[in-house]
Amino acid sequence: MTLVAVPFMLFFMNKDTKSGADRIQQYVADLPMAPGVYRMLDKDKNVLYVGKAKSLKKRVAAYTKLKGHPRRIQRVISATYTMEFILTETESQALLLESNLIKRLKPRYNILLRDDKSFLNILIRTDHKAPQILKHRGRRKHAGEYFGPFASAAAVHRTLDTLQKAFLLRNCSDSMFESRTRPCMQFQIKRCSGPCTGEILPEDYAELVVQATNFLRGKSTGLNQQLNEQMQLAAQVHDYEKAGDLRDRIRALAVITANQIVNPRHVAEADIAAIEMIGGYSCVRVFFFRAGQNWGERAFFPRHDKEQSPGDVLQAFLGQFYENKTPPALVLVNVDMPESKILAEALSVRAGRNVRIVRPKQGEKAKLVENARLNAKNALERHLAANASRVKQLSGVQQVFGLHHPPLRIEVYDNSHVSGTHAVGGMIVAGPDGFEKSKYRKFNVRSKDLSPGDDFGMMKEVFKRRFSRLTKEIKAGTAQIPDLVLVDGGAGQLSAVLTVLEDLDLTDQINVAAIAKGKDRDAGREQFFLPGKQPFRLAHNDPVLYYLQQLRDEAHRYAIGVHRARRSSAMVKSPLDNIPGIGPIRKRAILAHFGSAKQVAGASLADLEQVRGLSKQMARTIYDWFHEQV
C-alpha cells in the first residue's frame, strides 16, 4: 500500500479571539469525519504539536475545551493561534505521516526521539562479477543483499572480519580489483580467495557468495557439516593445505556464533524494544535479532512530558524509530500501547509485508523482553546520574562566566592545520544532555589571503561565516543562540572573534570566552579570558575546570578529525594524479614532503629533487607540468 497524503486545507487566521480554544473552534465546522494529520501552531507560526486522528472533526472538537486534557495538552491549546490539516486515506497512513512530521519539525510538545542516526548494515554487492562484501550506512543505492541493522560499528567490523576469514570474499574497491596483476596481502593472510587475479574459479567464488548469503540469512544449518566433510576428504587425499584452509573457515564460523550475547532458539528475526521509566524520564533499549543471532543493541532517551505513560512514549518512539528503517516481521515490547494494532498496520505498510507487535507474557520471548527492560533500567540509572552531575557542572559554568542562567547550549571552536595547509575550523555543541554530535559543524577555511598558520585570521573567517548565518536565523525567528561560546586560544583569539561579533552587532547577545593552556601546556593550569577582564585560573581540582577541559578536548579532537579527513581526501584527489608517472606511492611521498599540491606547484626544481625516491628526471617532469599549466 502506498501512503497518499492529500492536502486538505491550510488556515492562517489573524482574528484576535480570547483564547486558543476559541480559535480552534473556528475550524471544527469545516473539518470532515475522515482520518488525517493536524498541526497546532503558535502566533509566530512555530509548530507546537503534531497529531493524527481517525476523525479530524471529532479530534479537533475535543480541543475546544481545556477541561479533561492533561496539563501538557492544555498548554498546547492555550498557545494555539492557527492550525493546519492534511487528509489521508487511512488512520495508519496518518500515523506514518505524523511520525515523519514529528521527526522533521521537532514540535515542542510531542514525544521526540533523539540520536536517531541510521544504523550500519553489511552489504554483499551483486552488481559485479566478483561480489564484494562491505559495511554500508544510509540509502540503499547499490544492487545487492543488505543485512542488518547492526547497533555499532564495532559489531560490524568484528562480524566482517570473521566473515572474511570464513568465506574469503573480497572487500577491495572495484578500481583496485581491476588494476591488480598479482594477489594482494588479503589473499596472503587468507582473508580473500583472490578472484581479481584468477586464484579461484568464478563458479567457486559464486559458491562462496551463496554460502555467505545463506549464513547471514540464518540458513546455515548444513554449512558446518558440509565444510567438515570437505576437510575430511581433503585430508584423506593428503591435500593438507586445503584441509587447513577449511579448518580455519570452520573456526571462523564458530567465532561468529560464539560472539553473540544471546542466541534465542525460537526468535530468528525480531526487534525487542523495552521501556523503563524513573521519575518521569525514560529509556528505550532496542535489541536486534537477525538470522537467529544478536546483532547488538542501543539505548535511547526520548524527550517527553513527565506525565506521559510508558505505552504512549513507546508507541511514539517506535513510529519515529522505523520512519527511516525497515521493521522486522516481529517487534516484541514490554508494555501495552494504546494503538498497537494501528502501529502494526502502519509498519506493515512501510515494510511491504506483515509486521506484528507482540507483548509476550511467558516463555523465551518474555525472558528476552525482561532482559531488555533490565538493561533499559540500568542505562537510565546511569543516564540520570550523569545528568545530575552535568547539572552541577553547568551551574558552575554559570557562576564562573557570570551567565544569567545555566547554559543550555555551549559552542566550542578550534582550528586545525599543518603549516596552514588543509585548514579547517570545528564547532562542537554541548548542553544538559551532553555532547550533541548532530549539531557539530565543520568549516573549510577558504581565504587565500591568509598567511600560513594565521590562527587569528582562520578563527575570524570561521566566526564570520557561523554568526552571519546566525544573524539571518535570528531575523527569521529560527535561531538557537548559544548561551556561551568558548574559543580554544588566548587573548589574541578572543580579540579576533570579538571584532567579528562587533561587525555583526552581536556583542551584547553572545557571551564569549577563551581557554588557553597554561605554562608548558599542562592540563590544570589553563587560563581563561573574558572581554574587559583580567585572565584567571580555576583550582586544579575544580569540577568545572574538568568539565571545561572536556569541552576543549572534544573540540580539539573534532577539528583534528576533520582536518585529517580533508588531508586524506587531498591525498586521493590531487592535481598530481594527472601527471604521467605519478602513482599512489610517489604522490604520497611528494605530499608528505610539501604538505599540499599547491606547495608542489610553486616548488622549484631544486626543491622537487630533494623528495626522497624522486629521480631528477621525474622532478623535471613535475616541474614542467605545473609551469606549462600556468
Report, as an integer, the average pLDDT of 46-63: 93
Three-state SS annotation for 45-104: CCEEEEEEECCHHHHHHHCCCCCCCCHHHHHHHHHCCEEEEEEECCHHHHHHHHHHHHHH
The larger pLDDT score, comparing residue 116 to residue 14, is at 116
Give residue-wise pLDDT tens across range 606-622: 888 888 888 888 888 88
Write the CA distances from 115 to 42, 118, 301, 319, 326, integer angstroms.
27, 9, 8, 15, 18
Q: Is the CA virtual torsion 104, 106, 107, 111 positive or negative?
A: positive
Maximum Cα–Cα distance across the chain: 94
What is residue 257's predicted lDDT score, i.e. its pLDDT? 58
Whether the bond between 452 and the residue before it is cis, its omega within 30 degrees of 0, is no
Element (H, E) at 358: strand 356-358
- Give pLDDT, residue 3: 44
Which ranges of 237-339 would DSSP assign to H, the alpha helix? 240-258, 310-321
Q: Are strands 330-333 and 270-278 parallel, antiparallel or unpaired?
A: parallel
Q: What average pLDDT does this structure show over 502-526?
A: 82
Q: Taking 50 as the threshold, does the pLDDT of residue 8 lie above it?
A: no
Upper half-sphere CA count for residue 64 (Cβ side, 13 Å) = 14
In this prediction, residue 6 has a pLDDT band, given cuts at 50, 70 and 90, of very low
Confidence (pLDDT) at 564? 84
Average pLDDT over residues 311-325: 91
Q: Which domains does the chain have, with CATH numbers?
A: 5-105 (3.40.1440.10), 120-258 (no CATH), 270-381 (3.30.420.10), 410-569 (3.30.420.340), 574-629 (1.10.150.20)
Most confident residue range from 1-15, 92-106, 229-243, 578-592: 92-106
Instruction: Report pLDDT for 261.
Output: 45
Rounded to a whole number, what is the distance in angstroms from the first to the last CA of the chain? Answer: 60
Q: Over range 292-316, report the average pLDDT.
A: 88
Averaged pLDDT, 55-76: 91
Reported as a single tens digit per residue, the pLDDT across 223-242 is: 767 777 778 888 888 877 77
Q: Which three cell numbers stand for residue 269?
A: 528475526
Question: Does residue 56 have a pLDDT over 90?
Answer: yes
Angle between the 153-167 and 202-216 helix axes, to the nearest 10 degrees? Answer: 140
Average pLDDT value for residue range 17-22: 77
pLDDT digits (tens, 9 = 90+) for 371-403: 999 999 999 998 888 888 899 999 999 999 999
Q: pLDDT grade, residue 114 (50/70/90)? A: confident
How far apart CA 202 and CA 424 sit, in angstroms, is: 46
The three three-digit cell numbers of residue 255, written as one number: 567465532
**Is it the case that residue 222 has pLDDT exceeding 90?**
no
pLDDT for residue 630: 40
What pLDDT, on the 0 to 100 scale, is given for residue 190? Answer: 83
Please check the confidence at residue 268 and state whether its pLDDT lies above 90.
no
User: Under a CB-based contact definition with an 8 Å cutoff, are residues 41 and 32 in contact?
Assistant: no
Q: What is the pLDDT of residue 572?
A: 56
Give the pLDDT confidence score for residue 18 in this predicted structure: 65
pLDDT bracket for residue 628 (50, 70, 90): low
Least confident of 50-64, 85-99, 153-167: 153-167
Comparing 140 with 494, the larger pLDDT belongs to 494
**What confidence tens digit (pLDDT) does each residue in 398-445 have?**
999 999 999 999 999 999 887 667 789 999 999 988 899 889 999 998
Specify the pLDDT at position 9.
Answer: 44
**What pLDDT score was predicted for residue 496?**
92
Overall average pLDDT of the 5-30 stretch = 66
Res 247: pLDDT: 80
Confirm if 347 and 331 have CB atoms less than 8 A apart.
Answer: yes
Q: Cβ(151)–Cβ(288) under 8 Å?
A: yes
Q: Can you give the pLDDT at residue 211?
A: 83
Number of helical (H) and strand (E) elements in the chain, helices listed first? 20, 19
Name residues whose C-beta falls within 8 Å of residue 310's C-beta, 6 or more positions apart in sequence: 275, 276, 277, 282, 335
Residue-level pLDDT at 151: 74
Rounded average pLDDT over 562-581: 74
Q: Which pLDDT does position 523 carry in this prediction?
A: 61
Residue 291 has pLDDT above 80, yes or no: no
Compute the distance between CA of residue 44 and CA of residue 221 in angstroms, rounded to an integer: 61
Average pLDDT over all residues of the chain? 85
In this prediction, residue 574 carries a pLDDT of: 65
pLDDT band at 285; cut points 50, 70, 90: very high
- Please give the pLDDT value at position 155: 74
**pLDDT score for 113:** 85
CB 294 within 8 A of CB 151: no
**Mean pLDDT, rounded, for 341-357:** 92
115 confidence band (pLDDT: 50, 70, 90): low
